Amino acid sequence: MSESEQKSILEMLERIGRLTQAEQWTNDLNPTQLAALKYLARANRFSRAPSHVADYLGTTRGTVSQTLKALVRKGLIKEVRSDADRRSIRYDLCAGHDQALDVETSIAKAVAQMGAEELRPLSEGLRNLLTTTLEMRGNRTFGMCNSCKHHHKQADGKAYCALLKVDLEPHQTTQICHEHSRAA
């Protein structure tokens, strides 16, 4: 592929990102608040600390702190202190958060119109691009529990996280985790 074609791909990715962000100024949320809320809606209970949100969004803890405070004020999330360590906090979703997440962008509509034969290679290519970019930056992958090397099925069929040494509910296996490490 020529340098010109590579540059064109980068420009298209950047433009899609900007267009999507421009459409996310809705429902009384700015794009950063919406991104943080989307992350919290997908993250498992072990991955909802402010530092995890900052890592996922690729931003500073200060920015995320202000973003999370705004979401608390809007009644979309609540702060929960750890029983084991009162200094540690996580954020849980409040009732009604799903309405704030109901933002359909033009890119979402365009993806919905694409066929499987177009989506499969696109998905694979974007996943590889994202993974490579995260690795180059030294960032975590934040994958789903069920694709992690620490995810195990027990004899009774229940899921277990060997890293955190906890049983997982069925819905937790499809949530994203800060500690994710891709299975071999």
pLDDT per residue as tens digits for the range 8-24: 999 999 999 999 888 88
Q: What is the pLDDT of residue 123?
A: 93
> pTM of the prediction?
0.84
**CA 146 – CA 173 distance, rounded (Å):** 5
Percentage above 70 pLDDT, the chain: 99
Neighbours of 18 (CB within 10 A): 10
Q: What is the pLDDT of residue 38?
A: 94
**CA 101 – CA 27 distance, rounded (Å):** 9
Confidence grade of residue 27 (pLDDT, cut at 50, 70, 90):
low
Domains and CATH numbers, the chain: 3-113 (1.10.10.10)
Q: What is the pLDDT of residue 70?
A: 96
Backbone angles phi, psi at 177, to 5 degrees: -130, 140
